[in-house]
């Protein structure tokens, strides 16, 4: 069975499950997308890497990457190989240079590791046939990943970008450092975007 390469398109707040996110994968040579519902923690772990953010302390997936690096283990690919009763099954193909083994993993964890090891993500035609969404030319593309985690329903007030307008660049840098210390990556992403906007 031929593998089909997937690319990460983005993360968006799930409209079907409260507190969850949709990881959107797109086939590299085609117009089908594969939406996968994942938890908040895994969404944060993926977003941190996509946004090139550096947490002050290692996240769980970062720890696993450091552990693997220390023992010269590499994840060479991630394969989403099954879909059963709405649950995706994935495996990480790992090697130490001498032997290659496959490790079963939740799809969200496998993708979080794929972005850390910079390895490809694959699936099979039967998975895309079951769960893929075909886009036509009239469909609007998803926005680029700028602030991937934007919950629509939240008890906290939605932060308006105007809240940063009266602050200096140095104040924003301090806020950014504090947000990273607190592991508030969504807020850190907005502050970083405001700093980038001012440099233009």
The string of pLDDT tens digits covering residues 123-166 is 999 999 999 988 764 455 544 443 344 333 333 333 344 566 67
Q: Which candidate, 23, 65, 63, places its Cα nearest to that of 43?
A: 23
Distance CA(65)–CA(96), nearest Å, equals 13
Q: Domain 3-134 has what CATH class?
A: alpha beta
Most confident stretch, 7-11, 67-71, 178-182: 67-71
How far the first Cα of the chain sits from its last, in Å, is 48
Please give the pLDDT value at position 55: 81
Q: For the chain, which residues make up each domain, given as ranges? A: 3-134, 161-199
pLDDT tens, position by position, 77-114: 999 999 998 899 999 999 999 999 999 999 999 999 99
Please give the pLDDT value at position 163: 65
Please give the pLDDT value at position 18: 67
Distance CA(79)–CA(92), nearest Å, equals 7
Please give the pLDDT value at position 165: 67
The model's pTM? 0.69
Rg (CA), the chain: 18
Residue 4: pLDDT above 90? Answer: yes
Residue 175: pLDDT above 70? Answer: yes
Calculate what percentage of the chain has a pLDDT beyond 70: 82
Please state the rounded mean pLDDT for residues 115-129. 96
Mean pLDDT of all residues in the chain?
82
Contact yes or no for 148/51 (Cβ under 8 A): yes
């Amino acid at each position: 069975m031929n593998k089909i390469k997937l690319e990460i398109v983005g993360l968006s707040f799930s409209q079907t499950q409260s507190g969850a996110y949709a990881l959107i994968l797109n086939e590299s040579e085609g117009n089908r997308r594969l939406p996968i519902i994942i938890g908040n923690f895994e969404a944060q772990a993926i977003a941190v890497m996509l946004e090139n953010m550096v947490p002050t302390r290692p996240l769980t997936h970062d720890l696993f990457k450091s552990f693997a690096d220390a023992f010269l283990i590499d994840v060479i690919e991630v394969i989403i190989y099954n879909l059963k009763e709405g649950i995706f099954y994935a495996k990480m193909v790992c090697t130490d240079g001498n032997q290659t083994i496959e490790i079963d993993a939740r799809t969200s964890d496998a993708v979080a590791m794929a972005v850390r090891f910079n390895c490809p993500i694959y699936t099979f035609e039967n998975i895309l046939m079951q769960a893929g969404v075909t886009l036509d030319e009239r469909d609007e593309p998803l926005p680029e990943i700028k602030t991937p985690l934007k919950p629509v329903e939240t008890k906290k007030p939605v932060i308006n970008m105007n809240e940063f307008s009266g602050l200096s660049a140095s104040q924003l840098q301090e806020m950014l450092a504090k947000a990273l210390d607190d592991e508030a990556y969504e807020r850190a992403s907005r502050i970083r975007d405001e700093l980038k906007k001012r440099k233009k």
